[in-house]
Amino acid sequence: MTKNKLSDLRNHLFETIERLKDEEKPMEVDRALAISNVAQTVIDSAKVELKAIELAGAEVTSEFLELDKNECDRLLPEPERGRRRHGLSTGKHLGSVS
């Protein structure tokens, strides 16, 4: 089971913003940049995971992205839902994940 989920990352990033804005004891900018860099790496890996879900035709789930098979299936355009599961592709994509 995934320990951290996308919602946890989002919460950490908003906490970082709040701490940066704290006028009495703001977070150090170097520390905030480090958090941002690590977050970007996690986001990039999530993009790869989402692309894998697209290529697999929603046959996989994502605990990190908090998507089950039904949610993944809804990401695919209507005509592709059954086709992808049977190894057929229409050449359409969900969009760029880069």
* Half-sphere exposure (Cβ direction) of 29: Cα atoms closer than 13 Å: 0
Instruction: Profile the chain (98 residues) by mean pLDDT over runs of 10 residues.
Output: 79 94 95 94 87 72 68 60 46 43
Q: Do the Cβ atoms of 46 and 27 come closer than 8 Å? A: no
pLDDT score at 91: 42
Structure tokens at 21: 């804005």
For position 86, what pLDDT does the model report?
Answer: 44
Residue 17: its pLDDT value, please? 95
Residue 3: its pLDDT value, please?
A: 82
Residue 5 contacts residue 62 (beta carbons within 8 Å): no
pLDDT for 55: 79
What is the per-residue pLDDT for 56?
A: 74
